[in-house]
Amino acid sequence: MPVRRTLRVVRRHWRAAVRRAKRFTAPARRAWRRSLHLRVVTLTMVMSSLLVGGFGWFIADQSTKILLNRAEDEVRSQMAGKVDYAYRQLTVHRQARDPQLPATINDTVTRLADTDPAESGGAIVSLRADNIADLKPVTSTRADTDVLISREMRQAVATDSLVAQQIRTIRMNGEPIKYLVYGSPVPTSFGHVELYYLVPLTTEDRAANQIRATVLVTGLALVILLGVVAGLVTRMVVTPVRVAARTAQRLSAGLLDQRMKVDGEDDLALLAASFNQMAANLQRQIVRLEEMSRLQRRFTSDVSHELRTPLTTVRMAADLIFAERDEFDPAVARSAELLQAELDRFESLLTDLLEISRFDAGFAALDAEHSDLVPIVERVAERLEGLAERVGVTIELRLPDTPVIAEVDPRRVERVLRNLVGNAVEHGERKPVEVTMATDDAAVAITVRDHGVGLKPGEERLVFNRFWRADPSRARQTGGTGLGLSIAVEDARLHGGWLEAWGEPGGGAQFRLTIPVRAGDRLVAAPLPLIPRDRAIDAAPAIAATPAATPAAATRAITATPAAATPAAATPAAATPAADDRPAVAGAAREDNGDNPDSGANSGSGGTPGSGGNPDAGDAPKTGGNGVGEARGEEPAEVRR
C-alpha cells in the first residue's frame, strides 16, 4: 500500500508538472505551429549549430593533439640527452655508498636544469633511486614532485625499467597547471636510478584555449549569419504567400476587387499573376451568378404576382362550376372535382413560391412574441386528425403539463409543424406518429417520429431541397407543393434554430425542430436527441438534415441581404455544395410531401436542381444536439391521442 500510494502521488505530481509545462510553453508552441518563417529559421540555426559545432570540436581537438605531440617530441629528444649526461656522470661511482655520490647527483640535477631551453621555463628535473634506500630524491626546485609523479609511474620506471610518460595537473598559486612528466631509468655501476623530467604545458594549453575560443566565436558568427540569411530568404518566399493568404481572406469576405502586386518575372511573380487571374475569373463568375440570381428571383416574384389575378378569375369560375356539379353528367362532375383539387394545389404552390421569393430576397421578417408552444402543437395535431384517420395513422402527443413559453413567431412555428407532422402521417405506413416536446433554460425541441419507410443514406441532406423527391413514381396523398420543408428550413433559420432529420431503412424517420427560448440567442445543444431512443444503441451518429447550399442555390446565397441574416445566414462560402460536418446515418427511401387541403399547409418534396434552385440548408448545431449522449431533456408528462 505505501508503494502504491507513493506511485499515485508521484504520478499526480508528474501530471501537474506536465500541465504547467504545457501551459508555460503554449505561446511558443502556438507560434511554432503558425509561423513557417520561424520554423525555417529555427531549423536552419539548429542544423547549422550542430554542423559548425561538430566541425569546431574536430578542429580544436586536432589542434590540441598537434600541440601535445610537438611538446612530447621535444621533451623526448631532450630526455634522451639528459639520460646520457646522467649516465656519464654517475658511472664513475662504483658503489652506492660512495660519499661523493650525493654531491655528484646534486651537480647532475643542477646541470640538467640549467641546460633547459628558455621556452621550457618552469621545467623540473628530479633524480631518484627508489631501489637504493641510502640515496634520497634530488629535485631542481622546491616543488613537491610526489604529487606529479604517480606511484604507478615510479613502479614502471624503478621496478620494470621502462620509459614512461603521463600528463598531470596540480594547482600552484591557485591556478591549475598541466605538466608533461617523463620518467626513464639511468643505468649505473651500482644499479640504476630514475630520472624524471617534468615540463609545464602552459604555452601549449594557452594556444589550445586560443584556438578553441577562435573556433567558438567564428562558429557563433557563422551560425548567426546563416540564421540571418535563412530569415531573409524565407521572408522573400513567405511574404508573397502571406499576401496571397490575406488577399484570399478579403476575397472570401466579399471584397472581389482585391489583387496581389506582381513584381518581377520569377516564380513568385507567376504565382501572383495566376492568383490575380483566378480572382478576376471568380469575380466575373460571381457577378454573373448574382445577376442570374437577381433575374431568377425577379422572374419568380413577378410570375407569382402576375398569376394572382388570372388565378382569382379561374378560382371564381371553378367554384361556380364545382357548386353546380350535381347538375352535370358524372364525367363532367368528376372533372369539376379534379379541377377544384388541382386549383387548390396550384394556389398553395403559388403561395409557397411567393414565400420562397421573400426568403430569397431577404425580406422575410420574424414577428416574435412570447407564445405557449403546447397549444400550437395540439392545434396542428387536431387539424391533421382527418388526414390521419383516412390513412389509418394515430398521432401521439407527448407534451409537458406546464406551459412552454418561448419568444417565437407562432405562424411560422405552426407552419413548420404542419409540414413535419403531415409528412410523418403520409409516410407512417399505418403506424403511430409521435410528437414529443422538451425544453430547458436555453432551447425548445420538438421531434416528429414516424415508423415508415425511413430515409436512405444521404437523403437526410436532400430532403430539404426544393421539389426533391426520393421516389418520383410515388403518388401523393395530400397534394403537397414540394416546397414545404424548404420553407420550414428557412423558418427555423429565421428563428436562429435548427431543423434536422434522421432516418434508416425500414426504421422510420425523425425530424427535430430546435429553437431558442429567447429570440437572438445562439443554440449550443438541443433538449431532445435527434436519434430516437429505440434506435440510439444501434444507430450511428446522426447528420444534420439541413442541407448545404447546392450549385443551383449558389446565386441566391451570394446575394442574401442583411434582412435575412440569422445565425444560419448564407455566405459566399455557401455557394459550393458543402457536406455536413457530421457522419451520415442510414436512411430509407421516402419523399417529403405537402399537407392535405384541410390543413392549408404546404410541405416539401423532391425534384431536380433545375426546378428553381435549392435553398440553403438550415444550420446544423455547433455542439451537441444530435448524438446518443446528448441531453435527453425533460420527460413528457403524458401521451395524448
The residue among 599 and 313 whose pLDDT is bigger is 313
Query: Which of 191, 160, 198, 184 lies closest to 90, judged by CA?
Result: 191
Q: In the β-sheet with 138-139, what is the strand arrangement from edge to edge?
A: 138-139, 124-128, 191-200, 175-188, 164-172
Does domain 257-361 match CATH 1.10.287.130? yes
Identical topology for domains 257-361 and 367-551+584-640: no
E strands present in 454-516: 498-504, 508-516
pLDDT at 630: 36
Q: Which residue has the cell 400550437?
A: 376
Q: What is the pLDDT of residue 144?
A: 74
Task: Tell me the per-residue pLDDT of 72-87, one tens digit each, with 9 for 90 and over.
Answer: 898 888 888 888 888 8
Out of 3.30.40, 3.30.1360, 3.30.420, 3.30.450, which CATH number does the structure's domain 90-207 have?
A: 3.30.450
Average pLDDT, the chain: 77
Q: 591: how many CB neighbours lie within 10 A of its CB?
A: 24
Instruction: Compare 115 and 40 and report the one with higher pLDDT.
Output: 40
In the chain, what are the domain boundaries? 1-30, 90-207, 257-361, 367-551+584-640
Residues 509-560: tens digit of each pLDDT = 999 999 999 988 899 899 999 998 877 655 444 433 333 333 333 322 322 3
Lowest mean pLDDT among 341-355, 487-501, 504-518: 341-355
Q: How confident is the model at residue 603 (pLDDT cuts 50, 70, 90)?
A: very low
**pLDDT surpasses 70 at 576:** no
pLDDT of residue 473: 53
Q: Give the pLDDT score at 483.
A: 79
Task: Express each pLDDT in 10-38 by its tens digit.
Answer: 888 899 999 988 888 888 888 888 888 88
Write down the pLDDT at residue 538. 54
Region 426-435: mean pLDDT is 90
Q: Which three cell numbers stand for residue 354?
A: 411567393
Strand partners, 193: 186
Phi first, then psi: what are they for 123, rounded to 5°? Answer: -70, 150
CA pair distance 70, 118, nearest whole angstrom: 16
- Please report which confidence band the pLDDT of residue 480 belongs to, taking 50, 70 and 90 as the band edges: low
Quick one: pLDDT at residue 115? 67
367-551+584-640: CATH architecture: 2-Layer Sandwich (3.30)
Task: Answer yes or no: is pLDDT of 289 > 50.
Answer: yes
pLDDT, residue 587, reads 32
